Every structure is written in structure tokens, then in C-alpha cells.
Amino acid sequence: MPHRQKLLFFAGSAREGSHNKKLARLAAQIAEANGIAATFADLGDYPMPLYDGDLERGDGVPENARKLRALMEVHDGILIAAPEYNASITPLLKNTLDWVSRVRFEGEPPLQVFKTRVFAIVSASPGRFGGVRALLALRQVLSVGLQALVLPDQLSVPYAADAFDEKGHLKDKALQEQLKSIVGKLARAAKVLHGA
């Protein structure tokens, strides 16, 4: 039986009304509409303490970091919608990535789940820059720090408070098409990487 591609979508926010949760959910819907199995994960369901080396030595890696790592493992590609806080990514997103990067199974090289997945990055922001500075920071964390393959294409949605219609789609047709394109490229790149 052929492998059905699976993509994981999450936002770097636990806030209920998050524009980036809307964007990640929309991307997941686009994937499903194109026959790709899509999972939306809410980081609010994976609370973790602030990363601290002493805490890791004393208590080990939190169970929620292991659960999220396991979820990433069963997906071929991952799309992250990153809110911008003070020209960077959110503390929640950075802390999550830091903890997940510490999960290693026996005999596994460091950062294995990041090195063997394709990532796409998008952002929505109430301001006119659309979270582009968060994407710069996230790209550095993923590609340099975690040695992940990150698609060159990215999406910034400005004025996010007015960017979505009542169905959760982007009102700007060009932005909607750009998001569709990114999801398609993520799926194709993941297929090449995993031979799916």
C-alpha cells in the first residue's frame, strides 16, 4: 500500500484567538483538500517548563517534549506559523524547539527529527510587516541551530486582524494562493526527502 503523505501544522502561540493558529489551521485545510493527511497541533496542549540545563539533568526531558517529538516523527513535513514578539519568535516557540531538540532515542544522532524533516514557515501579524522579522529569526533557529531543511518560500500576512474572512480563508486572493503554493511545495519536498 502506498505511503500517504502526512504534514504537521502548528503555531508558536497558545492564545485562543491567535492569528497564527488561524493561518496554521488554514494551511492544514489546504493540505487535506489536496489529499494530504494533515494534523494540527496546539502547543497549548504541550506545556513545558522554561528550558534549563540543571532541570534537564535533574528531571530529564519533559514528557510533553517527548510526545511532541513523537508526533513530529510520524509526519513527513512540518509547517510552523510564527507570531512576532519584539522582532523575534515567541518564547513559547523557542522553548518548545529547545526542549524537543533535547529528545534523543538510543543510538540516534543529535537533532535527528529536524535533520530528516522539511519545514515551511509562515507568519501573520497585526502590523504592516506581517511578522517577517519573526520568520528571519525562526529560519536561523531551524536551519542553523537545528540543521533543518527550510523551504526558501515563506508567507507574511500583514494587518492580520482584518486578513481572514468568516470561513477562516485569507481575504487577499494573492496571499491565499501563496499559502497554497507553500503547502504544495512542502508536500513535494517532503515526498522527495522521504521517497513517499
In the chain, the domains with their CATH numbers are: 6-194 (3.40.50.360)
Q: Which residues pair with 172 in a beta bridge?
A: none
Question: How many Cβ atoms are within 10 Å of 73's Cβ, its own excluded?
Answer: 14
Distances (CA, A) of 179 to 64, 70, 144: 29, 26, 24
Question: How many Cβ atoms are within 10 Å of 63's Cβ, its own excluded?
Answer: 10
The whole-number pLDDT of residue 5 equals 86
The whole-number pLDDT of residue 194 equals 80
Q: If you search the block for the grid coordinates 487577499, which residue do you land on?
A: 172
Residues contacting 186, CB < 8 A, separation 6+: 7, 77, 79, 118, 119, 120, 151
Question: Rounded to 5, what percent of the chain is helix, strand, coil?
Answer: 45, 20, 35
For the entire predicted model, the pTM comes to 0.96
Distance CA 142, CA 113 (A): 12
The answer to whether the beta carbons of residues 23 and 30 sit under 8 Å apart is no
Q: If you search the block for the grid coordinates 544522532, which residue do you land on?
A: 109
The whole-number pLDDT of residue 105 equals 87
Reading the chain (196 residues) residue by residue, the pLDDT tens digits are 456 789 999 999 999 899 999 999 999 999 999 999 999 999 999 999 999 999 999 999 999 999 999 999 999 999 999 999 999 999 999 999 999 999 998 889 999 999 999 999 999 999 999 999 999 999 999 999 999 999 999 999 999 999 999 999 999 999 999 999 999 999 999 999 887 5
Burial class (CB in 10 A: 0-12, 13-18, 19+), 126: middle
The whole-number pLDDT of residue 30 equals 98
The whole-number pLDDT of residue 158 equals 98
Distance CA 60, CA 63 (A): 9
* CA 80 to mean position of chain CA atoms: 2
